[in-house]
Structure formats: C-alpha cells, structure tokens
Amino acid sequence: MAKFETKYLGNLRTEITHLQSGNTLTTDAPPDNHGKGEFFSPTDLLASALGSCILTIMGIAARTHGFSIDGATMETTKVMGTGPRRVAELIITITFPHNNYSPKELKILETSARECPVANSLHPDLKRTVSFVFKE
C-alpha cells in the first residue's frame, strides 16, 4: 500500500509527497484550464503514469525472459475531451534501440504493454493507441 499527502499551494498548484520516500512533485493547472503549465498537470500525471507503467512492466517481462529493453523511449500525447472535461485519448509511441527481437520476444513486449496495472485501472472508454518503432 502506498500513501501520499497532497497540499494545495495556491495559484492552482499542489505539492504531492510520497510518504515512504519523502520525494515530492508539484502539479500546475495547464494553460488551457487557467494555469501556467509550469509543472505536470494532474492529467499529465495520469498520461505519464500509463507510459511509465508500460515501460516498467515491459522491462520486468524482458528481464524475466532474458532480454533487455534498455534504451527504449516513449512519447505520449494526451488528447483532452469535453462534456465532461477528461482525458479522451492517449497516443503512445514506444521506440526500441534495435530491431533484433525474436518473434517470441516481440509477443512478450506486445502483451506486457497491454497488461500493466495502470492500463488495467483505466476506464475502457479511454482510447489508447500504442505503436512500436524499432531502430535499424
């Protein structure tokens, strides 16, 4: 079980403390919702949590099966919707440092990308588009 403390700092900002480690992060409302956009917004955290979770679970699966995804990067695009204001779509592109994965390893990566705990916690109506790019 993880616990966090969130403090409202004013000016549409919060500070979140991870109580076990003491690490903190600050959030800010985005410019399109009355903020300055100088820090991650709460919906940015949602989008980046999915990306971080996918890479982490893929890393665990790769390590378990004796290969590596070290150097993989991910770009996430968050698309907002209205009525109500919400994250409507997350477009994720995962770039791997090479294209030398076996068919079995590719299947492991594909499966693990869909099965991370954050992905399993999101509402099914949230559209998620995930693509893989392999460098030559």
54, 111: one domain: yes
Model confidence pLDDT, tens digit, residues 13-72: 999 999 999 999 999 999 999 999 999 999 999 999 999 999 999 999 999 999 999 999
55, 122: one domain: yes
66, 24: one domain: no
75, 113: one domain: yes
50, 25: one domain: no
Model confidence pLDDT, tens digit, residues 64-82: 999 999 999 999 999 999 9
Sheet holding 127-134, edge to edge: 73-81, 86-96, 127-134
Q: What CATH number has the domain bearing residue 113? A: 3.30.300.20
Instruction: Provide the number of structural domains found in the chain.
Output: 2
When pLDDT is cut at 50, 70 and 90, the band that residue 96 belongs to is very high
Model confidence pLDDT, tens digit, residues 113-126: 988 999 999 999 99
Tell me which residue range forms the domain holding 59.
Answer: 42-134
Exposure on the CB side of residue 28, measured as CA atoms within 13 A = 11
How do 13-18 and 4-10 pair as beta strands?
antiparallel
112, 55: one domain: yes
